[in-house]
């Protein structure tokens, strides 16, 4: 089936650039030549050059930032959404720097759809926290957290730029017993993409975590929207 004798031009360009990247011609976060330069270098048109770039983007080798150009993607970090060790420390142990920025925090009513899913009454007030996380100064994910105020009243008065679960443990003696994870690729909606300095329609990885206590009561819903090339999800499961 299918011979593919002749490799398409855009794939040849892809191979050429991929080899250059592998050979270290550019380092992490370095900018590639402009599309018009590439067009000239490979004696082609911008459409074809962009097809090659889009392919490399899909593979995660390069990324683009707004209208500034194409850049070499740094290595993926490992990320275990089932653990609650501090994100910053966890990332640092892998040799990267990380930081967290709280974009918004407020008391809201839990959306009906989510209330039904987690088993809370519709209209229940919850804390909503919106954060952006950087790895090596590159914004890599937007995170939206809902917390059950019953368990951690007044938590919004603390600084939320650190480890949230450290805070919940030390100040409220909370401990999650069960975690339910959902993970799937999805495109980033406009606002999220914007906040990550990426383009609308960029592919992302959606991770959702629901934590409950020993009584099965809802503690936390965490929704994360990642640049797809920034991470590798790693989960260890030991049956009991």
Region of 48-56, 112-120, 143-151, 231-239 interacting with DNA (CB under 7 A): 48-56
Q: Roughly how many angstroms between the first and final C-alpha of the chain, as a whole number?
A: 47
If one asks whether residue 22 binds DNA (CB under 7 A), the answer comes out as no
Interface residue list for a copy of itself (CB under 8 A): 1-2, 4, 11, 47, 55, 58-60, 76, 82, 176-187, 190, 194, 200-201, 203, 205, 228, 231-240
Of 23 and 184, the one with the shorter C-beta distance to a copy of itself is 184
Shortest separation between residue 99's beta carbon and a copy of itself, angstroms: 20
- Taking CB under 7 A as the criterion, which residues in 67-86 touch DNA? 67-70
45, two tokens? 């048109």
Closest CA to 218 of 165, 181, 177, 182: 177
Pair 189, 176: CB distance under 8 Å: no
Residue 147 phi, psi dihedral angles, 5° rounding: -120, 140
Torsion-angle region of 4 (φ positive above 0: left; ψ -120 to 50: alpha; else: beta): left
> Under rule CB under 7 A, how many of the chain's residues touch DNA?
29
Residue 236: CA count within 13 A, CB half-sphere:
3
Residue ranges that bind DNA, judged by CB under 7 A: 1-4, 8-11, 32, 34-37, 43-48, 50-51, 64, 66-70, 199-200
């Amino acid at each position: 089936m299918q011979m593919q004798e002749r490799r398409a031009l855009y794939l040849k360009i892809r191979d050429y650039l991929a080899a250059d990247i592998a050979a270290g011609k550019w380092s992490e976060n370095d900018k590639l030549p402009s599309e018009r330069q590439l067009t000239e270098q490979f004696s082609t048109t911008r459409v074809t050059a962009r097809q090659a770039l889009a392919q490399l983007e899909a593979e995660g080798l390069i990324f683009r930032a707004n209208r500034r150009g194409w850049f070499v993607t740094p290595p993926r970090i490992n990320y275990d959404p089932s653990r609650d060790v501090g994100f910053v420390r966890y990332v640092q142990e892998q040799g990267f720097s990380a930081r967290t920025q709280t974009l918004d925090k407020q008391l809201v009513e839990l959306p009906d759809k989510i209330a039904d899913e987690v088993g809370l009454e519709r209209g229940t007030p919850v804390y909503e926290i919106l954060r952006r996380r950087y790895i090596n100064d590159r914004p890599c994910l937007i995170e939206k957290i809902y917390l059950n105020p019953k368990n951690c009243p007044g938590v919004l008065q603390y600084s939320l730029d650190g480890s949230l679960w450290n805070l919940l443990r030390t100040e409220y003696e909370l401990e999650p017993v069960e975690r339910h994870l959902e993970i799937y690729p999805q495109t980033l909606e406009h606002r999220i993409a914007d906040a990550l300095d990426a383009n609308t329609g960029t592919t992302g990885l959606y991770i959702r975590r629901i934590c409950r206590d020993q009584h099965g009561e809802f503690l936390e819903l965490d929704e994360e929207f990642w640049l797809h090339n920034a991470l590798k999800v790693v989960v260890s499961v030991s049956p009991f």
